[in-house]
Amino acid sequence: MQDVRSYRHRSVHHLLRAKLKIRVTENVKRKGVQRVWNLHQIKRNEKKKKYKENRKVRIEGNGKRDTIEKEWTSLRNTIIEAADVVIGRKERETQKDWFDQECNLAIENKDTEKEEKRKTGRKYDG
């Protein structure tokens, strides 16, 4: 806000005028899916060795590419494939249901209490 003014009126209502400076920002969205691997598995020595060997074999089998950009793309894809094969991706954790039997029971008790108070003519307080 740059400037705000209030103008009185005969009635209870007042006129409010404001100058606003609006800035529009562009939403930046990430491309693709974020890769999350089971990193706790790489801490185990046998998985670490297997990953290193798999990566090394895949890199050696790649060969040369025409441009440096294709070489880097190939290297990146090779590392990702080795990680997918040996380490594996982390499963997405599902959220636990917060609305359980206890919540359902509490709502039923509240509803029955409310209905009983309605029948007897007393006010419901909560």
Question: Domain limits of the chain?
Answer: 39-86
Residue 28 or 78, more confident: 78
CA angle (50 as vertex; 59, 82 as ends), nearest 5: 45
Is the confidence at residue 86, as pLDDT, over 80? yes
The structure tokens listed for 101 are 């039997």
In the chain, % of residues over pLDDT 90: 6
Do 87 and 123 form a contact (C-beta atoms < 8 A)? no
Among candidate residues 92, 27, 73, 81, the one with its CA nearest the CA of residue 54: 81
How many helices, marked H, and strands, marked E, lie in the chain?
4, 2
Among candidate residues 42, 32, 57, 45, the one with its CA nearest the CA of residue 90: 42
Q: pLDDT averaged over the chain? A: 82
Do 84 and 55 form a contact (C-beta atoms < 8 A)? no
pLDDT in tens, 17-58: 888 888 887 777 767 667 787 888 778 888 888 888 888 888
Neighbours of 120 (CB within 10 A): 7
Q: What is the mean pLDDT of residues 47-72?
A: 84
pLDDT of residue 122: 67
